[in-house]
Chain A
Amino acid sequence: MTAFLTVVFALWFGLTLLCQFIKPTVSGRLLRWDYPGLIPMYRVFDRRVQDLTLYYRSHPEGEWKPFLEQREARLRQIIWNPEGYRHKILWSHLRSLSDFHHAGVPIAPYNLSNQGLENILLEETECREFCQFAVSEGGTIIYASPGGFAR
C-alpha cells in the first residue's frame, strides 16, 4: 500500500509539474498552480493590455459605445434567450460588466446594475475578442481574479 501511494504521490506531482509549462491551456483543477484567471490574465498582459479602467477613462464615450451595444446585445441573447440557455456557456474568467461598473469604470450611459444585468458574464471567446479590440484601440485592461473579489 505504501509503495502504491508513493507512486500515486509521485505521479500526481509529476503531472502537476508537466502541466505548468507543457500545455498551458490545460485547466486541470489540481494540476495547475496559477490563479483562476492567470492564463487569460497573462495572455492579456502579453498583448500589452493593462487596465480596462484606464482604457475606458482614456476613450471618449462615443468610441466604445457601438462596441458595448453590440456586446450587450449578444450577452443578452446568451443569458436571457431560453434557447441560449441551453447552449454551453463558456465560463469566462473575466468579470461581469456590472463589476466594472461597480469598480468605478465609467461605462455610462449604460447603468448596467440598474438594468438588471448584474449576472451578465463574458464568454471566453468574447473576452478574447474584447481584449483584442481594446488592444487594437490602444487601450489597456486590468484583469482581476474573481475569486479574490468575491470574498
Chain B
Amino acid sequence: MSQPLYWTLLLVGLAHLLSSCELLAARKLFGPEARCCWSLLSQKFPERLARLLQPLGGHPGVLALLALRASSGLWLICCPSSWAALVSLTVLTIVLHARNRPWMVDAGDKFLLMVTLGLLLAGLPTQSVLSAEPALESVALIFIAAQASLSYFTAGFYKMRNRWGNGRFLSDLLDCQLLVGRTHATFLKRYSWLLPLMETSVVTIQLMAPALVLMGPTCAKVLVLWSFTFHLLGAWGLGLRTFSQAYWTCYPAILWCAAR
C-alpha cells in the first residue's frame, strides 16, 4: 500500500467533509431569498433544464447533496480503498459546483476536485486507488504535485506582474471589513511594516514552488511548511478555508516527488 496515496485519500476525504459541513452550517445562504438561492442561480441554465434540476438545486435539495458529500467524505476517511466513495465525491462535487457557480466555487474547490478526479482515474483499472499499479500510482502523485506547483507559480506570476511587494495590496485588504475581521486588521495594522515583507515572501515562494519541489526533500519541506502557514493564515484572517483544506491534500504528493 502506498503511504503517500493513503494520506492523500485521507486528506481528500477530510477536505470534502469539512467543506460540506461548513456549507451546511451556512445553509441560510441557500434559502429562498439568499444570495445563493436557486431562483437566482438557475438563471444560468436553460429554462427547461433549470426546471428539471429544481429538486436538486432548490433549498432542501442542495442541503441533501451537501449531506451526501459529507457522508462520502467520511466514507473515504473510514475506507480509503473505496473507489465508490471517490466516484460519489466526484459526481456530487461536480453537481454542487455547477449549482453554486459563480458565488461559492473558488480555486480551492477546483483544486480539490482536480485531486479527487486524479485519484479516481488512478484507481480506475483496479477499482481501488490503494491497489493501483505502481506506475500509475507514480503518475498520479507526480500529476498532483505538478498541478500544485503550477497553481502556486501562476498565482505568484500574476501577483508579481501586478506589483505585489510594497504592502499596498494587503493594506487595502485590511480596510475591507467584510474580508478581514476587526481583530485581525488591528493586529496586522499595528505591525504594518510586516506587510511588504509578507507580500514579498508570498510572491517569492509561489514563484519558486516548482523549483522547490525539484530541489529535493528539504526544500519541499520548506514549501509545505510555508504553504501550511500561508493557508492557515488565509483561513484565519480572510476566511479562505477551502484553500487550506484543498492544498493540504497535495502535501504527500509533493514530499513523495521531492524525495525522488
Separation of A6 and B132 alpha carbons in the complex (Å) = 13
Q: Which of A17, A144, A146 has most B Cβ within 10 Å?
A: A146
Known: A17-B150, A20-B150, A104-B177. Contact between A5 and B124, CB under 8 A? yes
Write the nearest CB–CB distance from A35 to chain B, whole angstroms: 5
Are the CB atoms of B150 and A16 closer together than 8 Å?
yes
Contact of A34 (CB < 8 Å), options: B107, B113, B177? B107
0/1 string, A112-151, CB within 8 A of B gives 1: 0000001101000000000000000000001011111111
Residue A56 interfacial (CB < 8 Å): no
Are the CB atoms of A2 and B136 closer together than 8 Å?
yes
Of B57-65, B78-86, B114-122, the one contacting chain A is: B114-122
Are the CB atoms of B107 and A2 closer together than 8 Å?
no
Are the CB atoms of B139 and A9 closer together than 8 Å?
yes
Write the nearest CB–CB distance from B245 to chain A, whole angstroms: 11
Are the CB atoms of B238 and A148 closer together than 8 Å?
yes
Are the CB atoms of A34 and B155 closer together than 8 Å?
yes
Known: A5-B121, A53-B176, A103-B178. Contact between A147 and B37, CB under 8 A? no
Q: Note all chain B residues with C-beta closer than 8 A to A145.
A: 106
Q: Note all chain B residues with C-beta closer than 8 A to A68.
A: none
Q: Please provide the chain B residues from 27 to 74 with a CB less than 8 Å away from any CB of chain A in the complex.
A: 29, 33-37, 40, 43-44, 47
Are the CB atoms of B139 and A93 closer together than 8 Å?
no
Contact of B107 (CB < 8 Å), options: A36, A51, A85, A104? A36
Of A38-46, A59-67, A69-77, the one contacting chain B is: A38-46
Are the CB atoms of B44 and A91 closer together than 8 Å?
yes
Are the CB atoms of B122 and A5 closer together than 8 Å?
yes
Separation of A20 and B178 alpha carbons in the complex (Å) = 29
Residue A1 interfacial (CB < 8 Å): yes
Known: A30-B113, A33-B151, A50-B172. Contact between A147 and B103, CB under 8 A? yes
Residue B154 interfacial (CB < 8 Å): yes
Contact of A13 (CB < 8 Å), options: B26, B34, B146, B158? B146
B-side interface mostly: helix
Write the nearest CB–CB distance from A131 to chain B, whole angstroms: 14
Contact of B241 (CB < 8 Å), options: A104, A149, A151? A151
Residue A110 interfacial (CB < 8 Å): no
Nearest B-chain residue to A39, judged by Cβ:
B158
Residue B162 interfacial (CB < 8 Å): yes
Range class of the B interface residue count? 35 or more
Range class of the A interface residue count? 35 or more
Write the nearest CB–CB distance from A37 to chain B, whole angstroms: 9
Write the nearest CB–CB distance from A105 to chain B, whole angstroms: 9
Q: Note all chain B residues with C-beta closer than 8 A to A142.
A: 172-173, 175-176
Residue A26 interfacial (CB < 8 Å): no
0/1 string, B71-107, CB within 8 A of A gives 1: 0000000000000000000000000010001111111
Q: Note all chain B residues with C-beta closer than 8 A to A2.
A: 125, 133, 135-136, 139
Separation of A45 and B103 alpha carbons in the complex (Å) = 21
Known: A33-B151, A89-B43. Contact between A5 and B239, CB under 8 A? no
Contact of B125 (CB < 8 Å), options: A1, A9, A86, A146? A1
Are the CB atoms of A12 and B124 closer together than 8 Å?
no
Separation of A36 and B177 alpha carbons in the complex (Å) = 21
Nearest A-chain residue to B121, judged by Cβ:
A5
Separation of A103 and B180 alpha carbons in the complex (Å) = 10
Q: Please provide the chain B residues from 121 to 162 with a CB less than 8 Å away from any CB of chain A in the complex.
A: 121-122, 124-125, 133, 135-136, 139-140, 142-143, 146-147, 150-151, 154-155, 157-158, 161-162
Residue B199 interfacial (CB < 8 Å): no
Q: Which of A9, A51, A54, A86 has most B Cβ within 10 Å?
A: A9
Closest 9 CB pairs of A and B: A147-B106, A33-B151, A103-B178, A1-B125, A9-B143, A45-B162, A150-B104, A91-B102, A146-B103
